Amino acid sequence: MKKSGKYQIDMCHGPLLKKIIIFAVPLMLANISSLMFTAADLVVLGQFSSSSSMAAVGAAPAFTTLMMNLFWGISAGVNVLVARYIGAKDKYNLSRTIHTAVAIGCFGGFFMALLGNIITVPVLRIMAVPENILSQAALYMRIWCIGIPFMILFSFGSAILRSMGDTRRPFIFMIISGIVNVLLNLFLVIACKMDVAGVAIATTVSHAVSSSLVFRWLAVSGGDCKIHLKKVSIAWPILREMLRIGLPAGLQGGLFSVSNIIIQSTLNSFGWQAIAGSTAALSIEGMVHATFTSFSLAVVSFVGQNHGAKKYKRIMKSIVLCLILTVSISIVLTAIVLVFKRPLLAIFNPDPEVIEWGCIRMNYQFTFYCLLGLMEIVAGALRGLGYSFWPTVVTLMGACVFRVIWVFTIFPHFRSLQNLMISYPVSWLLVTSVNGFMLYCICRRMLQNASKRKFDDLSV
């Protein structure tokens, strides 16, 4: 398979630890940078506008995640298929996969943008967003939805680059778009006094910039993954396989968002200061979670390519290394965050009551956060191997359904934010245990079958 530049990583040969780190670190920095630029929205509003404006933006994340999760899941399917065809040196199906992904991204993005604008107000009312911030939250969401096509295309384009072993270019593109976001935030909120609308416009423009950059590169210098506009169409067998792998992950994410909307609705009942505090804490959580996501995406790509190349021992080693790295980093980061939680929250909003609400969430989430890291790596490994359905069922039952039951049965008897937050680590433990056992059984059977076929299948 032809290489298209120095940024690519050969995942099927050479030392795995070094390559996983080289792959994951730019991805980690890109994710953290993206979240920092998103957090800049909240910081600018918290420092230069009002806490209610910050709460209006903070009331939206569960809804925005719901809108995007289906396509983020499909991007996982793109990642797995592109990695598999690169590993198998199948240029024909590689090209069909890439052009199908672009077509789905374009059509699906415009549909979701339209749908989002139609359902914004009803969903925010279902979420029990306080009336004093409802109009601001709805305005933010409607402008944000305009950027959905750009977000989906950037997600698909980044998935293609990751499958090639290139995580540095998405990082560079993210930095450029993030700088645009921050500068526009400062100009529109401080100079133009546009408040929530200014933040939403800055976010949408920055997504358009990042999407344009990644697809310009793929169209000009993509090598075997080059995009040709004339070839953009849907190959139905490829789409079916893409959906078979990615749709369960997307549905899982979507139903996660539904459970999070229910939890967010419950949290909204504590008032706007609780919303603002939880939003600030959630932004900090996201930056730590970005480290898990980077290794989860790494394990998808490394497992996918080596599965295509039939290098089963490298698959096992990739999974173990990603688990070790994730747990190690999570322990260090969560310890740092718990020690400095108050100063970190004060960056977003200096209101003492907002900080207190944020501390409650952080104490319960970060104490057990390494469980979430384990859950992400196990899920990523299963997707890389092409198994998505049953892990999705387990995750939905163990996390989504469990949390909803918790909200409607246990929470009403002990009504506090502490009781609401403890449902998260309990669900992480349940899902990780069951999916971990499933991964162990699949990998053991895979190695046994490979050893019966030929010794080369077990090469590292």
Distance, CA of 289 to CA of 296 (rounded, Å): 10
Residue 449: how many other CB atoms lie within 10 Å: 11
What pLDDT does 455 receive?
Answer: 47
State how far Cα 205 lies from the chain centre: 20
Tally the domains of the chain. Answer: 1
Please choose, from the candidates 368, 328, 459, 333, the residue with its C-alpha nearest in 3D space to the C-alpha of residue 20: 328
Residue 1 inside a domain? The answer is no
Residue 2 inside a domain? The answer is no
Per the structure, the complete domain to which residue 30 belongs is given by 16-458
274 located within any domain: yes
Cα gap 236→96, rounded to integer Å: 10
| pLDDT beneath 70, residues of the chain | 1-7, 50-51, 59-62, 222, 450-460
> Which amino acid is located at 116 in the chain?
G
Q: In angstroms, rounded to a whole number, what is the distance separating the alpha carbons of residues 184 and 41?
A: 10
Residue 255 maps to a domain: yes
pLDDT digits (tens, 9 = 90+) for 30-89: 777 777 777 777 778 877 776 677 777 776 666 777 777 777 778 888 888 988 888 888
Could you write out the three-class secondary structure of 94-148?
A: HHHHHHHHHHHHHHHHHHHHHHHHHHHHHHHHHCCCCHHHHHHHHHHHHHHHHCH
**Side-chain-facing half-sphere of 407: CA atoms under 13 Å:** 19
Per the domain annotation, does 3 fall within a domain?
Answer: no
- How far from each other are the two terminal CA atoms of the chain, in whole angstroms? 19
Q: What are phi and psi of 167, to 5 degrees?
A: -110, -5
Kindly give, in sequence order, each residue whose CB lies less than 8 Å from that of residue 104, ignoring residues fewer than 6 positions away. 74, 156, 234, 239, 242
For residue 209, is it within any domain?
A: yes
Among candidates 246, 262, 248, which has minimal Cα distance to 401? 262
Q: What does the alpha-carbon distance between residue 377 and residue 391 come to, in Å, rounded to a whole number?
A: 12
Contacts of 26 (CB under 8 A, 6+ apart): 167, 168, 170, 171
Structural domain contains residue 6: no
Task: Tell me if 7 is assigned to some domain.
Answer: no
Nearest CA-CA partner of 398 in 429, 371, 373: 429
The Cα 400–Cα 260 span in angstroms is 8
Residue pair 35/103 in contact (Cβ under 8 Å)? The answer is no
- The pLDDT assigned to 75 comes to 85
Secondary structure in 3-state letters for 419-445 = HHHCHHHHHHHHHHHHHHHHHHHHHHH
SS3 377: helix
